[in-house]
Amino acid sequence: MTLLIGIPLETATGERRVATVPEVVEKLIKLGFPVAVQSGAGVGANFGDDDYRAAGAEVVATAAELWARSDIVFKVRPPSSEEVALMREGGTLIGFVWPAQNPELMQQLAAKRATVLAIDSLPRTLSRAQKMDALTSMAGISGYRAVIEAAHAFGRFLNGQVTAAGKVPPAKVFIAGAGVAGLAAIGTAASLGAIVRANDTRAEVADQVKSLGGEFVKVDYEEEGSGGGGYAKVMSEGFQQAQRAMYAQQARDADIIITTALIPGKPAPKLITAEMVQSMKPGSVIVDMAAEQGGNCELTVPGEAVVRHGVTIVGYTDLASRLARQSSTLYASNLLRVVEELCKTKDGTIDVDFDDDAIRGLTVIKEGNVTWPPPPIKQPAATPKLHTPPPAVATPKGHGHGKGEPMSARALAIVFGIGALAFLLVGQFAPAAFLSHLTVFVLACFVGYMVIWNVTPSLHTPLMSVTNAISSIIAIGALVQVAPPLGGSTVGDRPSGLILGLAVGALALTAVNMFGGFAVTRRMLAMFRK
């Protein structure tokens, strides 16, 4: 028996997202699931009822009918008590639940003997789970939108400009937290021309900040901040004091501060104090992306934008919803990947397999039994070390040299002696013209070696491509064979057909080498430009 997937209208205040979109409805139907959508569910994201009908979904008039008929319900926000009451016994819910923050909701769902897959509980350390990671999808959108909201409230350009009326300096943006949302904010602010600085307790994100055009600001205190699962951990008091001092300095200098710091299952840490807000320049902006969990700023009002000490503090909790169409599309794709894992047979039924680490992590309630938190993920067994052969015994001095050892004086004398003898024989028996060519060749090898040795290793490939282009001396020899000699020519002076053919072929190949070398060089050097 195939299971019906229901998509209700989100009832949370200001929520405009919808749990699936017409494009994904078609894919769910191909998996064998009929789909029902509550009338008006997609209006906030610019998806009309007719769009869903065209994709093959049934449009249901009321929430009560939808919840009563649906075997599986897709949700964005956690369901309210009224929605849980409408849910059918033994049904399945997939969406954001936040089990640590909603213990009462967990008990209500368990009383319904429901199976609940919380998309926020996905183990993010699994590489195969990335396609289902709705937290990352929504965080990226929220980080982008945070910069747009900051620019709107700031009241002047983010990029520096020089106009006839005067010079406008670039805005200085400081971003606290360089997770997914923070990195999205860094990239957006940098692309708008702002001077971007960022900080994170995890030192490993410094390179990511720099790659996006930001400057990583390090706290003058050594402590590892990675808490596992892609999140930061609670830091020591000593680190927090050093961090507050750094934030106070950045607050005095920055025009815009965007905070993103969250620790799973805990209130948002307070990073920006009232004194720091007071020290900021009038007209500055703070966007607190952690407002829903209490906020990183002491003066944040969740859901509102307020002005304190001349500073606009934006505490919107619906940043992803402000780009409803985009966020709904990405969220629907994440839920589709979850269903694909649950329904590998493509017959319209699901199998909640606890042997699958990703599904086990997602499942917080199974058939009325609370299964959250999940057990730790089993790590793969360590690969046995291969037998390593014993190190080679170093060759005694005077009998050659081992790898990495300098050549002995005796070996060096022998090499130079053989080289000198070879040059002596060449000088005695080779023609004078050959000696001049040999001298040029040796000097060219020496100069070329010294030039390449002093080039930055990252530029070796572009350098080799351009040297290929300019070192095509073959072209000169081929032209000598093809062109008539100076002062006229006789039949005996003309090259044979074979030599002429080889010369023309050499010219053609040399032309490819020359023009191709410059083309490759140009493309490679473009990779180093911002």
pLDDT in tens, 418-431: 877 887 777 777 77
Per-residue pLDDT, 522: 78
Structural domain includes residue 402: no
237 and 175 housed in the same domain? yes
Top mean pLDDT of 231-245, 305-319, 399-413 is at: 305-319
Residue pair 44/324 in contact (Cβ under 8 Å)? The answer is: yes
Residues 117 and 147 in one domain: no
110 lies in the same domain as 146: no
- Among positive and negative, which fits the CA dihedral 383, 385, 386, 392? positive
State residue 430's pLDDT score: 76
At residue 472, the pLDDT reads 62
CATH number of the CATH domain containing 49: 3.40.50.720
CA distances from 266 to 119, 261, 378, 438 (A): 18, 11, 25, 76
Contact predicate 333/138, CB 8 Å: no
Is 270 exposed, middle or buried, given 0-12, 13-18 or 19+ CB atoms closer than 10 A?
middle
Residue 497 has a pLDDT of: 79
Residue 396, pLDDT score: 46
In the prediction, which pLDDT does 434 show?
A: 75
Q: What pLDDT does residue 399 have?
A: 45
Residues 34 and 87 in one domain: yes
Residue 72: inside a domain, yes or no?
Answer: yes
Asked if 96 and 209 sit in the same domain, the reply is no
Mean pLDDT of 309-318: 97
Residue 423 lies in a domain: no
Q: How many angstroms from the chain centroid is the CA of residue 207?
A: 12
Residues 112 and 202 reside in one and the same domain: no
Cα gap 491→99, rounded to integer Å: 96
477 lies in a domain? yes
| Residue 89 shares a structural domain with residue 161 | no
Give the confidence band of 378 by pLDDT, cuts at 50, 70, 90: confident
**Considering only 125-139, 179-193, 448-462, 473-487, which range has the smallest mean pLDDT?**
448-462
* 114 and 151 part of one domain: no
Express each pLDDT in 192-233 by its tens digit.
999 999 999 888 899 999 999 999 999 888 876 565 555 556
Domain of 495 in residue numbering reads as 455-528
Is 418 a member of any domain? no
On whether residue 129 sits in a domain, the answer given is no
Burial class (CB in 10 A: 0-12, 13-18, 19+), 100: middle
Q: Which of 291, 322, 353 is the last residue of a domain?
A: 322
How many whole angstroms separate alpha carbon 111 and alpha carbon 85?
Answer: 10
Mean pLDDT of the chain: 86
Higher pLDDT among residues 163 and 459, named by residue:
163
pLDDT in tens, 225-271: 565 555 556 678 888 899 999 999 999 999 999 999 987 778 899 99
Radius of gyration of the chain (CA): 34
Say whether both 302 and 347 belong to one domain.
no
**Single residue among 370, 405, 429 that ends a domain in this structure:** 370
**What pLDDT score was predicted for residue 439?**
77
Nearest C-alpha neighbor of 367 from the set 113, 118, 117, 116: 113
For the segment 7-36, the average pLDDT, to the nearest whole number, is: 97
Report the percentage of the chain scoring pLDDT > 90: 61
Does residue 411 carry a pLDDT above 50? yes
- pLDDT of res. 349: 96
Are 306 and 355 found together in one domain?
Answer: no
Residue 468 has a pLDDT of 63
| Count of Cβ atoms closer than 10 Å to residue 213 Cβ | 16
Instruction: Tell me the pTM.
Output: 0.72
pLDDT digits (tens, 9 = 90+) for 439-478: 777 777 777 677 666 666 656 566 666 666 665 667 777 7
Task: State whether 293 and 182 are in the same domain.
Answer: yes
In sequence order, what are the residues at sequence separation of 6 or more whose Cβ sits closer than 8 angstroms to the Cβ of residue 463?
452, 455
Highest mean pLDDT out of 30-44, 121-135, 193-207, 492-506: 30-44
Rounded to an integer, what distance in angstroms lies between the CA atom of residue 92 and that of residue 388? 54
How far apart are the C-alpha atoms of 188 and 182, rounded to whole Å?
A: 10
The answer as to whether 485 is a domain residue is yes
Tens digits of residue pLDDT in 72-115? 999 999 999 999 999 999 999 999 999 998 999 999 999 999 99
User: What's residue 528's pLDDT?
Assistant: 63
**Domain-embedded: residue 442:** no
Residues 161 and 300 in one domain: yes
How many domains does one find in the chain? 3
